A and B are shown apart, each in its own frame.
Chain A
Amino acid sequence: MATKPNDYIPGVASTAWACLAFLYIPLLIVIFFSFNAGSRITVWEGFSLDWYHRAAENEQLVKACINSLIIGVLATIFSTIIALMTAVAMHGNKLGARTQSSTYFMMTLPLLIPEIVIAIASMAFFSIIGLNWFIGDLPLGNVLIAHTVFCIPFAYSPIRARMETLQPSLFEAAADLYATPWQAFRHVTLPLMMPGITSGAMLAFITSIDDFIITQMVAPPGGATLPVYIYSMIRRGITPEINAISTVLLILSIVMVALSYAINQRKA
Chain B
Amino acid sequence: MSSPAGKRAWLLSPFMFLMGVFFMLPLVLIVGYSFMTPQETGGVMMPLTFEAYTKIFYETDFDGKKVFDPSFLLVCWRSVKLAALCTFLCLLAGFPMAYYMATRPPAQRNFWMMLVTIPFWTNLLIRTYAWILILRDGGLINNGLRGLGVLAEDQSISLLYTDFSVGLGLLYSYLPFMVLPIYSNLERMDWKLVEASADLYANRWQTLRRVTIPLCMPGIIAGSILVFIPCIGSYLAPQMLGGATYMMLGTKIESLFGAAKDWPFGSAASVALMATVMIGLMIMSRRGGLKELV
Q: Do A and B touch (CB < 8 Å)?
A: yes
A interface list, Cβ under 8 A from B: 1, 4-9, 11-13, 15-16, 18-20, 22-27, 29-30, 33, 41-42, 82-83, 85-86, 88-92, 94-96, 99, 103-104, 106-118, 120-125, 128, 145-146, 148-149, 152-153, 156-157, 160-161, 168, 171-172, 175, 181, 184, 202, 206, 209-210, 212-213, 226-227, 230-231, 234, 238, 242-243, 246, 249-250, 253-254, 257-258, 261, 264-265, 268
CA distance A113 to B232 in the complex (A): 10
A15's nearest neighbour on chain B, judged by CB, is B96
Interface of B is mostly: helix
* B62 lies within 8 A of chain A by Cβ: no
CA distance A21 to B9 in the complex (A): 47
CA distance A107 to B131 in the complex (A): 34
Cβ of A114 and Cβ of B125 under 8 Å apart?
Answer: no
* B243 lies within 8 A of chain A by Cβ: no
Cβ of B233 and Cβ of A116 under 8 Å apart?
Answer: yes
Cβ of A85 and Cβ of B123 under 8 Å apart?
Answer: no
Chain B: minimal CB distance from A193 (Å): 13
CA distance A121 to B263 in the complex (A): 11
Other A-B pairs, 8, CB within 8 Å; known A7-B191, A42-B138, A122-B22: A15-B100, A25-B130, A104-B294, A116-B250, A120-B267, A212-B123, A254-B121, A257-B114
B interface list, Cβ under 8 A from A: 1-3, 5, 7-9, 11-12, 14-16, 18-19, 22-27, 29-30, 33, 93-94, 96-97, 99-101, 103-107, 110-111, 114-131, 133-134, 136, 138-140, 143, 172, 175-176, 179, 184, 191, 194-195, 197-198, 202, 204-205, 207-208, 225-226, 229-230, 232-233, 235-236, 240, 249-250, 253-254, 257, 263, 266-267, 270, 273-274, 277-278, 281, 290, 293-294
Of B2, B24, B93, B267, the contact of A175 (CB 8 Å cutoff):
B2
Between A and B, 12 residue pairs with Cβ closer than 8 Å are A9-B99, A13-B100, A23-B116, A25-B130, A25-B134, A29-B133, A108-B293, A111-B294, A122-B26, A149-B18, A210-B124, A254-B118
By CB atoms of chain B within 10 A, which of A19, A114, A125, A149 has the most? A114
Chain B: minimal CB distance from A158 (Å): 10
CA distance A26 to B173 in the complex (A): 11
Cβ of A264 and Cβ of B123 under 8 Å apart?
Answer: no
A159's nearest neighbour on chain B, judged by CB, is B294
Are A91 and B277 CB-contacts (below 8 A) given A30-B122, A124-B26?
no
Are A94 and B194 CB-contacts (below 8 A) given A30-B130, A42-B143, A212-B125?
no
Chain B: minimal CB distance from A175 (Å): 5
Of B8, B118, B123, the contact of A95 (CB 8 Å cutoff):
B8
Contacts of A91 in B (CB 8 A): 1
Cβ of B172 and Cβ of A149 under 8 Å apart?
Answer: no
Contacts of A257 in B (CB 8 A): 114, 117-118, 121
Of B101, B124, B175, B207, the contact of A22 (CB 8 Å cutoff):
B175
By CB atoms of chain A within 10 A, which of B23, B194, B198 has the most? B23
A124's nearest neighbour on chain B, judged by CB, is B29
Contacts of B257 in A (CB 8 A): 120, 123
CA distance A181 to B172 in the complex (A): 46
Chain A: minimal CB distance from B149 (Å): 19
Chain A: minimal CB distance from B34 (Å): 11
Cβ of A99 and Cβ of B1 under 8 Å apart?
Answer: no
Cβ of B16 and Cβ of A114 under 8 Å apart?
Answer: no
By CB atoms of chain A within 10 A, which of B2, B105, B195 has the most? B2
